[in-house]
Structure 1
Amino acid sequence: MIQNRPGRYLLDDAGLTELRSFVDAGTLLAFDLDGTLAPIVADPSAIVIPGHIQESMARLCAMATVVILTGRGREDALSFLGFEPCMVVGNHGAEGLPGWEEREREFRELCAGWKQQLHLSLAGTSSGIFLEDKRLSLSLHYRNAAGRGEAFATIIEAIGALVPAPERISGKFVENVVPRGAPRKGRALLDTLRYLGTGRALYVGDDATDEDVFRLRNERIFGVRVGASSSTAADYYLKDQQEIDRVLREIIDILSHPSCDAA
């Protein structure tokens, strides 16, 4: 779905009308995890999807095709869900896509080498930098650093020295190291649409990594950004993460009362 920028608020009358005209039982429902289904917390291992969100997602999984598209590793993400989506695609799109199994092995080897290099280059640097090994990508978190600016500069220098050079994907107080050629979220969502044979998708995400989907400007994708941003390419936005509850309830209502004029 293509709108004029900036994105419009989803939960006003006009936005809800567009949502109802787009979503039906054949629409792929895709969601990011951290900052979307679960509030962001200082410790990535401590996220919790609220019980009422888990319940709504479980209902949606029984009504439609639901996919989780997350920066986390697949196994890590699965441990937090509490519901069973059709697919979980991890590592920003690099893990869990059918047909990419051989390349995934290459990506693991690259990341293992980068991890060793980063341990050496970051030894003795400022505290508050946390290296998260997600097997097919690495994440350098600095949310808890006393001096975030200094920590960010240290991380950028360390990533810039990696051999071979990776792709760098920025997030909220995190820099992600990803193998070149690995699919990102936009490619992953399009591949998932083809693989599952669905014609269109609603995608909800909250940060810079999700803009890879929004920038597709694809009329078959209804993009929703969690948190207003003047630079987003998403069609619509939510004011904050808490509004995801309303979105899920609206989608459940749409699917419970199908309309013959859904577009």
Structure 2
Amino acid sequence: MEQKLPNALQNINEIYELSGDKKAVLFLDYDGTLTPIVSDPEEAKLPGKTRSALEQLSKIINVAVISGRDRKDILSFIDINTLFYAGSHGFDISGPDGMEMQYEEGKKTLPSLDKAEEKLKEKLKNIKGSQLERKKYAIAVHYRNVQEEKVDELKSIVEEVLQSDEKLKKGSGKKILELKPNLNWHKGKALQWLMKELELSKEEYMPIFIGDDITDEDALKAIKDYGVGILVGSHDQETHATYQLKDTTEVVEFLQKLQQRLTK
């Protein structure tokens, strides 16, 4: 589904006006937002310009990355100690001054994820190009490099494994299927938890969330009434975003302009 929204770069002054006297707080996805989507997830390195913009911004406002990736992986990719990191769609959070949080109910699903991982390893071993990525609180099955005629078989295998354990549910994205804890916790809940934990009230702070995929919609929906949601590119569902950026190049441009504005 092709989304057509006002461009956030072209309308950046309007976004500043929306904030009024409120201070911005920035939340970002990683893959497809800060870095382009690549065929090998391990090669999604953070560009130098983007790292610099994040580093500068995190000195003047709160900046958090909320990713489907494992928290330790996302931390090692970015490696800026002034940022907050929420991995596995927000089940595992860390930040400056010793902040640590793991969603308690999520821990109970770890044995289910372990079993599902073993089953998927066995069942997917003959599907060439499939990639199994285990995170602490999720399992990602990448099929970007799978031949088209094998994709339905892969999806059936994932569905079969999911059906065998009611503690897990399916997540989806761009050429990826996920097995996640069957709990009411997601990127939107993690964003709200961070706002509360950091005492960033809606009356004084305006959250900006930038993301590109279906899993980012939970966060976009969470701030729709009091923040700014920006979609990078498009996906095949309705979006809760208000603005759009074409690609990761426009994202870094937006971050640079935001940093320039905030340091005036």
TM-score by length of 1: 0.86
Deviation at 1:8, TM superposition (A): 1.9
> Secondary structure in 1 aligned to 2:155?
helix
Deviation at 1:33, TM superposition (A): 0.7
Render the CA deviation track for 1:47-80: whole Å, top value 9, x for unaligned: 1111011111110111111111000111010111
Q: For residues 218 and 61 of structure 1, what CA distance do their matches in structure 2 show?
A: 23
Residues 67 and 87 in structure 2, CA contact (< 8 A), matched pair in contact too? yes
Residues 26 and 62 in structure 2, CA contact (< 8 A), matched pair in contact too? yes
Across the aligned residues of Structure 1 and Structure 2, the Cα RMSD in angstroms comes to 2.3
- Residue number among 97, 110, 113 corresponding to 1:111 in the alignment: 113
Q: Match of 1:150?
A: 152
Q: Which has the higher contact order (CA 8 A, sep 6+)?
A: 1
> Secondary structure in 2 aligned to 1:39?
coil
* Greater strand share, structure number: 2
Q: How many residues align?
A: 250
Q: Match of 2:78?
A: 81
List alignment gaps of at least 5 residues for structure 2: 95-99
List alignment gaps of at least 5 residues for structure 1: 258-263
Render the CA deviation track for 1:202-261: whole Å, top value 9, x for unaligned: 01011111011122363222110101457222011111121012111111122112xxxx
Q: Where do residues 42-57 of structure 1 align in structure 2 (5 Å cutoff)?
A: 42-57=39-54
> Secondary structure in 2 aligned to 1:215?
helix
Change (3 A) 1:181 1:88: same
Q: For residues 112 and 197 of structure 1, what CA distance do their matches in structure 2 show?
A: 36
Q: Match of 1:69?
A: 66
Deviation at 1:164, TM superposition (A): 3.0
Change (3 A) 1:153 1:104: closer
Q: Does 1:20 align with 2:16?
A: yes
> Secondary structure in 1 aligned to 2:229?
strand
After TM superposition, the structure 1 stretch with the greater mean CA deviation from structure 2, 194-203 or 113-122, is 113-122
- Residue number among 206, 217, 237 corresponding to 2:244 in the alignment: 237
The letter of the residue matching 1:209 is T
Q: For residues 232 and 239 of structure 1, what CA distance do their matches in structure 2 show?
A: 15
Identity of matched residues, %? 28
